[in-house]
Copies of this chain bind each other. A is one copy, B any other.
Protein backbone atom coordinates (compact mmCIF):
# COMPACT_ATOMS: atom_id res chain seq x y z
CA UNK A 1 0.00 0.00 0.00
CA UNK A 2 1.85 3.02 -1.21
CA UNK A 3 -1.06 5.47 -1.20
CA UNK A 4 -1.17 8.59 0.94
CA UNK A 5 -3.41 8.78 3.99
CA UNK A 6 -4.75 11.76 5.94
CA UNK A 7 -5.79 11.84 9.57
CA UNK A 8 -8.77 13.96 10.60
CA UNK A 9 -9.25 15.12 14.18
CA UNK A 10 -12.64 16.12 15.58
CA UNK A 11 -11.77 18.02 18.74
CA UNK A 12 -14.81 18.10 21.04
CA UNK A 13 -15.28 19.13 24.65
CA UNK A 14 -15.71 15.52 25.86
CA UNK A 15 -14.04 13.34 23.25
CA UNK A 16 -11.37 13.61 20.59
CA UNK A 17 -12.26 11.50 17.57
CA UNK A 18 -9.62 10.67 14.99
CA UNK A 19 -9.90 8.86 11.69
CA UNK A 20 -7.82 7.81 8.71
CA UNK A 21 -9.00 8.73 5.22
CA UNK A 22 -7.54 7.83 1.87
CA UNK A 23 -7.26 10.32 -0.98
CA UNK A 24 -10.80 9.54 -2.15
CA UNK A 25 -12.31 10.56 1.18
CA UNK A 26 -13.06 7.03 2.34
CA UNK A 27 -12.96 6.72 6.11
CA UNK A 28 -10.85 3.63 6.75
CA UNK A 29 -10.50 3.52 10.51
CA UNK A 30 -11.56 5.54 13.55
CA UNK A 31 -10.46 5.85 17.17
CA UNK A 32 -11.68 7.98 20.03
CA UNK A 33 -10.46 8.99 23.47
CA UNK A 34 -11.31 11.50 26.19
CA UNK A 35 -10.39 15.15 25.68
CA UNK A 36 -9.64 15.79 29.34
CA UNK A 37 -10.37 19.47 28.99
CA UNK A 38 -10.15 19.95 32.76
CA UNK A 39 -6.43 19.07 32.71
CA UNK A 40 -5.62 22.12 30.57
CA UNK A 41 -4.46 22.98 27.08
CA UNK A 42 -1.16 21.06 27.24
CA UNK A 43 -2.92 17.84 28.27
CA UNK A 44 -5.48 18.19 25.46
CA UNK A 45 -2.71 18.68 22.90
CA UNK A 46 -0.86 15.65 24.31
CA UNK A 47 -4.05 13.62 23.87
CA UNK A 48 -4.44 14.75 20.25
CA UNK A 49 -0.87 13.64 19.58
CA UNK A 50 -1.37 10.32 21.38
CA UNK A 51 -4.58 9.40 19.53
CA UNK A 52 -3.21 10.37 16.12
CA UNK A 53 -0.04 8.33 16.64
CA UNK A 54 -2.09 5.45 18.03
CA UNK A 55 -4.50 5.19 15.10
CA UNK A 56 -1.67 5.20 12.56
CA UNK A 57 0.32 2.62 14.53
CA UNK A 58 -2.69 0.31 14.75
CA UNK A 59 -3.40 0.69 11.04
CA UNK A 60 -1.89 -1.15 8.08
CA UNK A 61 -0.33 2.17 7.03
CA UNK A 62 3.09 3.51 7.90
CA UNK A 63 3.80 6.92 9.43
CA UNK A 64 5.55 7.83 6.16
CA UNK A 65 2.28 7.44 4.29
CA UNK A 66 0.65 10.08 6.49
CA UNK A 67 0.53 13.13 4.20
CA UNK A 68 -1.22 15.51 6.59
CA UNK A 69 -3.30 16.00 9.71
CA UNK A 70 -6.44 18.18 9.83
CA UNK A 71 -8.45 19.29 12.84
CA UNK A 72 -11.91 20.78 13.29
CA UNK A 73 -13.44 22.27 16.45
CA UNK A 74 -16.24 24.55 17.58
CA UNK A 75 -15.01 28.11 17.82
CA UNK A 76 -13.24 30.97 16.12
CA UNK A 77 -10.07 30.42 14.21
CA UNK A 78 -7.46 32.19 12.17
CA UNK A 79 -7.12 29.65 9.39
CA UNK A 80 -4.30 31.40 7.59
CA UNK A 81 -2.10 31.42 10.71
CA UNK A 82 -3.44 28.14 12.08
CA UNK A 83 -4.43 29.65 15.42
CA UNK A 84 -7.45 28.69 17.52
CA UNK A 85 -8.62 32.09 18.68
CA UNK A 86 -11.33 30.87 20.99
CA UNK A 87 -12.80 27.41 21.46
CA UNK A 88 -14.76 27.58 24.72
CA UNK A 89 -15.68 23.91 25.03
CA UNK A 90 -12.05 22.79 25.05
CA UNK A 91 -10.78 25.88 26.87
CA UNK A 92 -8.45 27.02 24.06
CA UNK A 93 -7.63 30.70 23.64
CA UNK A 94 -5.06 31.96 21.14
CA UNK A 95 -3.42 28.56 20.75
CA UNK A 96 -1.13 28.28 17.67
CA UNK A 97 -2.28 24.71 17.22
CA UNK A 98 -0.96 24.28 13.68
CA UNK A 99 2.62 25.19 14.57
CA UNK A 100 2.50 23.02 17.71
CA UNK A 101 1.17 19.95 15.91
CA UNK A 102 3.42 20.38 12.87
CA UNK A 103 6.39 20.41 15.23
CA UNK A 104 5.21 17.26 17.01
CA UNK A 105 4.17 15.29 13.93
CA UNK A 106 6.66 16.58 11.37
CA UNK A 107 3.65 16.70 9.00
CA UNK A 108 1.57 19.52 7.48
CA UNK A 109 -1.42 20.44 9.67
CA UNK A 110 -4.58 22.39 8.76
CA UNK A 111 -7.46 23.54 10.94
CA UNK A 112 -10.98 24.89 10.46
CA UNK A 113 -14.20 25.24 12.41
CA UNK A 114 -16.63 22.35 12.92
CA UNK A 115 -19.34 23.61 10.55
CA UNK A 116 -16.85 24.04 7.71
CA UNK A 117 -15.17 20.65 8.14
CA UNK A 118 -18.55 18.90 8.44
CA UNK A 119 -19.64 20.57 5.20
CA UNK A 120 -16.40 19.54 3.51
CA UNK A 121 -16.77 15.96 4.75
CA UNK A 122 -20.26 15.71 3.27
CA UNK A 123 -19.14 17.36 0.04
CA UNK A 124 -16.12 15.12 -0.31
CA UNK A 125 -17.59 11.73 0.44
CA UNK A 126 -21.11 12.16 1.83
CA UNK A 127 -24.35 13.59 0.48
CA UNK A 128 -22.46 16.03 -1.79
CA UNK A 129 -20.17 13.46 -3.40
CA UNK A 130 -19.40 14.42 -7.00
CA UNK A 131 -21.10 17.82 -6.68
CA UNK A 132 -19.13 21.04 -7.31
CA UNK A 133 -21.24 23.47 -5.31
CA UNK A 134 -23.24 22.71 -2.20
CA UNK A 135 -24.41 24.43 0.96
CA UNK A 136 -24.67 22.64 4.31
CA UNK A 137 -26.87 23.55 7.24
CA UNK A 138 -25.99 21.88 10.54
CA UNK A 139 -28.93 21.97 12.93
CA UNK A 140 -27.76 21.47 16.49
CA UNK A 141 -27.71 23.70 19.56
CA UNK A 142 -27.26 26.48 17.01
CA UNK A 143 -27.47 26.54 13.23
CA UNK A 144 -24.08 26.21 11.57
CA UNK A 145 -23.28 26.39 7.91
CA UNK A 146 -20.63 25.66 5.36
CA UNK A 147 -20.32 26.76 1.74
CA UNK A 148 -18.57 24.50 -0.75
CA UNK A 149 -17.57 26.08 -4.05
CA UNK A 150 -15.74 24.05 -6.67
CA UNK A 151 -15.33 21.28 -4.10
CA UNK A 152 -13.56 23.49 -1.59
CA UNK A 153 -14.56 25.36 1.58
CA UNK A 154 -15.35 28.97 0.78
CA UNK A 155 -14.08 31.19 3.60
CA UNK A 156 -15.06 34.70 2.54
CA UNK A 157 -13.25 37.92 3.35
CA UNK A 158 -12.92 37.58 7.12
CA UNK A 159 -13.25 33.78 7.24
CA UNK A 160 -16.89 34.23 8.24
CA UNK A 161 -18.70 32.88 5.17
CA UNK A 162 -21.39 30.30 5.84
CA UNK A 163 -22.77 31.82 9.04
CA UNK A 164 -26.17 30.65 7.86
CA UNK A 165 -27.70 30.66 11.34
CA UNK A 166 -27.44 34.43 11.28
CA UNK A 167 -29.47 35.10 8.16
CA UNK A 168 -32.22 37.49 9.28
CA UNK A 169 -35.34 35.59 8.40
CA UNK A 170 -38.03 36.09 11.05
CA UNK A 171 -40.20 39.20 10.50
CA UNK A 172 -39.78 41.97 13.08
CA UNK A 173 -43.14 41.44 14.72
CA UNK A 174 -42.33 37.91 15.80
CA UNK A 175 -38.54 38.16 16.03
CA UNK A 176 -36.65 37.46 19.21
CA UNK A 177 -33.04 38.27 20.00
CA UNK A 178 -30.34 35.83 18.92
CA UNK A 179 -27.20 35.00 20.90
CA UNK A 180 -25.32 37.17 18.39
CA UNK A 181 -27.24 40.23 19.57
CA UNK A 182 -29.37 40.66 16.43
CA UNK A 183 -33.09 40.06 16.04
CA UNK A 184 -34.76 37.35 13.98
CA UNK A 185 -31.80 35.13 13.04
CA UNK A 186 -32.59 31.68 11.60
CA UNK A 187 -30.90 30.15 14.65
CA UNK A 188 -33.61 31.55 16.93
CA UNK A 189 -36.26 29.29 15.34
CA UNK A 190 -34.61 26.36 13.54
CA UNK A 191 -32.01 25.15 16.06
CA UNK A 192 -32.71 22.64 18.84
CA UNK A 193 -32.53 25.59 21.22
CA UNK A 194 -35.11 27.50 19.18
CA UNK A 195 -37.47 24.53 18.98
CA UNK A 196 -37.23 23.93 22.74
CA UNK A 197 -37.84 27.62 23.42
CA UNK A 198 -40.97 27.67 21.24
CA UNK A 199 -42.23 24.54 23.01
CA UNK A 200 -41.62 26.01 26.47
CA UNK A 201 -43.36 29.24 25.45
CA UNK A 202 -46.37 27.25 24.24
CA UNK A 203 -46.56 25.31 27.51
CA UNK A 204 -46.09 28.47 29.57
CA UNK A 205 -48.96 30.25 27.86
CA UNK A 206 -51.22 27.23 28.39
CA UNK A 207 -51.50 25.86 24.84
CA UNK A 208 -53.12 22.43 24.85
CA UNK A 209 -50.26 20.07 24.10
CA UNK A 210 -48.85 16.75 25.27
CA UNK A 211 -45.55 18.60 25.80
CA UNK A 212 -47.03 20.14 28.94
CA UNK A 213 -46.64 16.77 30.67
CA UNK A 214 -42.91 16.48 30.07
CA UNK A 215 -40.45 17.32 32.86
CA UNK A 216 -37.99 18.89 30.48
CA UNK A 217 -38.50 19.25 26.76
CA UNK A 218 -36.00 18.18 24.08
CA UNK A 219 -36.20 18.83 20.35
CA UNK A 220 -36.70 15.11 19.80
CA UNK A 221 -39.76 15.15 22.07
CA UNK A 222 -41.23 18.01 20.07
CA UNK A 223 -40.75 16.05 16.83
CA UNK A 224 -42.19 12.87 18.39
CA UNK A 225 -45.24 14.77 19.63
CA UNK A 226 -45.70 16.35 16.19
CA UNK A 227 -45.51 12.93 14.50
CA UNK A 228 -48.11 11.68 16.98
CA UNK A 229 -50.45 14.45 15.84
CA UNK A 230 -49.98 17.04 18.61
CA UNK A 231 -51.05 20.26 16.89
CA UNK A 232 -48.94 22.62 18.95
CA UNK A 233 -45.84 20.52 18.30
CA UNK A 234 -46.70 20.38 14.60
CA UNK A 235 -46.95 24.16 14.49
CA UNK A 236 -43.50 24.46 16.07
CA UNK A 237 -41.92 21.97 13.66
CA UNK A 238 -43.56 23.69 10.70
CA UNK A 239 -42.23 27.02 11.87
CA UNK A 240 -38.67 25.67 12.19
CA UNK A 241 -39.01 24.11 8.72
CA UNK A 242 -40.58 27.23 7.22
CA UNK A 243 -37.68 29.49 8.15
CA UNK A 244 -35.15 26.90 7.00
CA UNK A 245 -36.88 26.69 3.62
CA UNK A 246 -37.07 30.46 3.45
CA UNK A 247 -33.36 30.83 4.23
CA UNK A 248 -32.50 28.25 1.58
CA UNK A 249 -34.54 30.23 -0.89
CA UNK A 250 -32.39 33.29 -0.14
CA UNK A 251 -29.21 31.26 -0.39
CA UNK A 252 -30.40 29.86 -3.73
CA UNK A 253 -30.88 33.38 -5.10
CA UNK A 254 -27.30 34.20 -4.11
CA UNK A 255 -25.41 30.99 -4.91
CA UNK A 256 -27.68 28.66 -6.90
CA UNK A 257 -26.02 25.58 -5.36
CA UNK A 258 -26.79 22.14 -6.74
CA UNK A 259 -27.43 20.52 -3.36
CA UNK A 260 -28.51 21.69 0.08
CA UNK A 261 -27.36 19.26 2.76
CA UNK A 262 -28.98 19.27 6.17
CA UNK A 263 -27.18 17.61 9.06
CA UNK A 264 -26.96 17.81 12.84
CA UNK A 265 -29.15 16.32 15.53
CA UNK A 266 -32.34 18.10 14.50
CA UNK A 267 -32.11 16.71 10.96
CA UNK A 268 -32.71 13.21 12.37
CA UNK A 269 -36.42 14.11 12.46
CA UNK A 270 -36.33 12.80 8.89
CA UNK A 271 -38.91 13.05 6.14
CA UNK A 272 -41.37 14.76 8.43
CA UNK A 273 -39.04 17.78 8.55
CA UNK A 274 -37.58 17.47 5.04
CA UNK A 275 -40.94 17.32 3.26
CA UNK A 276 -41.97 20.59 4.86
CA UNK A 277 -38.64 22.29 4.09
CA UNK A 278 -38.83 21.18 0.45
CA UNK A 279 -42.39 22.40 0.10
CA UNK A 280 -41.53 25.86 1.51
CA UNK A 281 -38.42 26.08 -0.68
CA UNK A 282 -40.51 25.28 -3.75
CA UNK A 283 -43.10 27.86 -2.82
CA UNK A 284 -40.63 30.70 -2.18
CA UNK A 285 -38.01 30.14 -4.89
CA UNK A 286 -38.31 31.25 -8.54
CA UNK A 287 -38.47 28.17 -10.74
CA UNK A 288 -35.12 28.63 -12.57
CA UNK A 289 -33.38 28.72 -9.17
CA UNK A 290 -34.83 25.40 -8.05
CA UNK A 291 -34.47 23.50 -11.32
CA UNK A 292 -32.51 20.32 -10.56
CA UNK A 293 -31.67 21.53 -7.04
CA UNK A 294 -31.86 18.92 -4.27
CA UNK A 295 -32.40 19.21 -0.52
CA UNK A 296 -30.99 16.10 1.13
CA UNK A 297 -29.99 14.70 4.51
CA UNK A 298 -26.35 14.49 5.53
CA UNK A 299 -24.98 10.96 5.20
CA UNK A 300 -21.89 10.79 7.37
CA UNK A 301 -23.48 11.59 10.73
CA UNK A 302 -20.89 12.20 13.42
CA UNK A 303 -18.07 11.16 11.11
CA UNK A 304 -18.48 14.22 8.84
CA UNK A 305 -16.13 16.25 11.04
CA UNK A 306 -13.34 13.66 10.93
CA UNK A 307 -13.61 13.13 7.18
CA UNK A 308 -13.77 16.87 6.47
CA UNK A 309 -10.79 17.58 8.72
CA UNK A 310 -8.78 14.94 6.87
CA UNK A 311 -9.92 16.52 3.61
CA UNK A 312 -8.58 19.96 4.51
CA UNK A 313 -5.31 19.09 2.78
CA UNK A 314 -6.94 18.22 -0.52
CA UNK A 315 -10.01 20.43 -0.47
CA UNK A 316 -9.29 23.78 1.21
A residues adjacent to B (C-beta < 8 A): 76, 132-133, 135, 145, 147, 149, 154-169, 171-173, 180-182, 246, 249-251, 253-258, 284-289, 291-293
Contacts and interface: CB of A to CB of B under 8 A. Distances in A.
A252 to B, nearest CB: 8
Given A154-B149, A291-B158, A292-B157, A168 B254 contact: no
B167 A250 contact: yes
Given A182-B286, A289-B163, A258 B157 contact: yes
A256 B159 contact: yes
A171 B168 contact: no
A169 B250 CA distance: 8
A254 B161 contact: yes
A156 to B, nearest CB: 3
Nearest to A179: B286
Contacts of A292: 157-158
Residue in A166, A169, A249, A257 with the greatest tally of chain B CB atoms within 10 Å: A166
Given A182-B285, A286-B181, A289-B163, A157 B251 contact: no
A133 B156 contact: yes
Contacts of A168: 246, 249-250, 253, 284
B157 A253 contact: no
A157 B254 contact: no
Contacts of A288: 76, 158, 160, 163
A76 to B, nearest CB: 8
8 contacts: A133-B156, A156-B256, A157-B256, A158-B256, A168-B253, A171-B173, A181-B287, A255-B255
A32 to B, nearest CB: 31
The 3 closest A-B pairs by CB, nearest first: A156-B256, A157-B258, A171-B171
A310 to B, nearest CB: 24
Contacts of A250: 167-169, 250, 254
- Residue among A133, A286, A288 having the largest count of chain B Cβ atoms under 10 Å: A286
A161 B249 contact: no
Given A163-B289, A250-B254, 16 more contacts: A135-B254, A147-B254, A147-B255, A157-B256, A157-B292, A158-B289, A158-B291, A162-B256, A163-B253, A164-B254, A166-B286, A167-B249, A167-B253, A168-B250, A168-B284, A171-B173
